[in-house]
Amino acid sequence: MLSTAGFAGIAALIGDPARATMLALLLDGRALTASELAAAAGITPQTASAHLARLTEAGLLAMERQGRHRYHRLASAAVAQMLESIMAVAAGQVAVAPVRPRTGPRDAAMRLLRSCYDHLAGQVAVALADRLAARGQIELSPDGGALTEAGRGFFAEMGLALPEARGGRLICRPCLDWSERRPHLAGRLGTALCGFCLEQGWMRRVGDSRAITVTPLGWQALHQRFALSPQDF
């Protein structure tokens, strides 16, 4: 077959626990240094260096040098989507397993709200998508989605600049959440909405994790715009 070799090679790269941890850490779209990634994966810098070189060589990561630091990030959205789809399958088989692994408070924050490459994921993100769908502002299915005229007006009134897609239609790609197992907003609309929430000060990244917190101003806005309150979660 044409691409079986490269196919298995890519998967094998992701298959190593240390590399998988680093890739998962980069899934929020930010760029991290080799040292940070090494510490996160629990390996020495020299080992991480070899891993990062292979990942970059394979086209999964992109690297840019800045002074004596070298920042590594995911090479493309296609890579992020691949990682997400693997996580979705992995989460599915966890659900089959009888043992539900103990989840600490850090995981709780991650499950509530987090960044997913360039958009929002977690309970809040799923709830947002649900509200929009219930109001007929978007239409979602496992296979695709669309923004309705009502939705277009809603976002315009909110002050969110909506990029146009070919054909005059805005696109929202559903992204299967590994914790919720429900689709949420990705695509151009998901990216725009995520950026808007951060710019407006509604949400803030937490430390060096993928977790995101909603600010008091954010809860006010979510309540007003989406009828969502903290006690809903």
Partner DNA sequence: GGGATGCTACGGCGCCGGTCGAAGCATGAC
Partner DNA sequence: GTCATGCTTCGACCGGCGCCGTAGCATCCC
If you search the block for the tokens 């054909």, which residue do you land on? 167
Q: Which two tokens stand for residue 195?
A: 């950026």
Among 52-60, 124-132, 154-162, 222-230, the segment contacting a copy of itself (CB under 8 A) = 52-60
* 156 scored as a contact of a copy of itself (CB under 8 A): no
* 34 scored as a contact of DNA (CB under 7 A): yes
* 31 scored as a contact of DNA (CB under 7 A): no
CA distance 121 to 142: 15
Amino acid letter for position 62: A
**DSSP character at residue 208:** T
Find the binder of DNA among 6, 7, 11, 44 (CB under 7 A): 44
* 14 scored as a contact of a copy of itself (CB under 8 A): yes
Find the binder of DNA among 6, 7, 11, 12 (CB under 7 A): 12
- The smaller minimum CB distance to a copy of itself, of residues 210 and 218, is found at 210
Asked whether the beta carbons of 35 and 22 are under 8 A apart, the reply is: no
What φ, ψ does residue 142 adopt, rounded to 5°? -60, -20
* 124 scored as a contact of a copy of itself (CB under 8 A): no
* 102 scored as a contact of DNA (CB under 7 A): no
H or E stretch including 115?
strand 114-116
CA distance 205 to 17: 25
Asked whether the beta carbons of 113 and 218 are under 8 A apart, the reply is: no
CA distance 45 to 34: 7
Residues, the chain:
233
Among 33-41, 88-96, 110-118, 120-128, the segment contacting DNA (CB under 7 A) = 33-41
Strands 69-74 and 183-185: unpaired
Q: What track of x and - describes contact with a copy of itself for positions 74 through 103 (by CB under 8 A)? A: --x-xx-xx--xxxxxxxxxx-x----x-x
- For DNA, the binding residues (CB under 7 A) are 12, 16-18, 33-35, 43-54, 63, 67-70
User: Which residues bind to a copy of itself, rule: CB under 8 A?
Assistant: 1-17, 19-21, 24, 58-60, 76, 78-79, 81-82, 85-94, 96, 101, 103, 107, 110-111, 133, 136, 139-141, 143-146, 165-167, 169, 171-174, 176, 178-179, 186-188
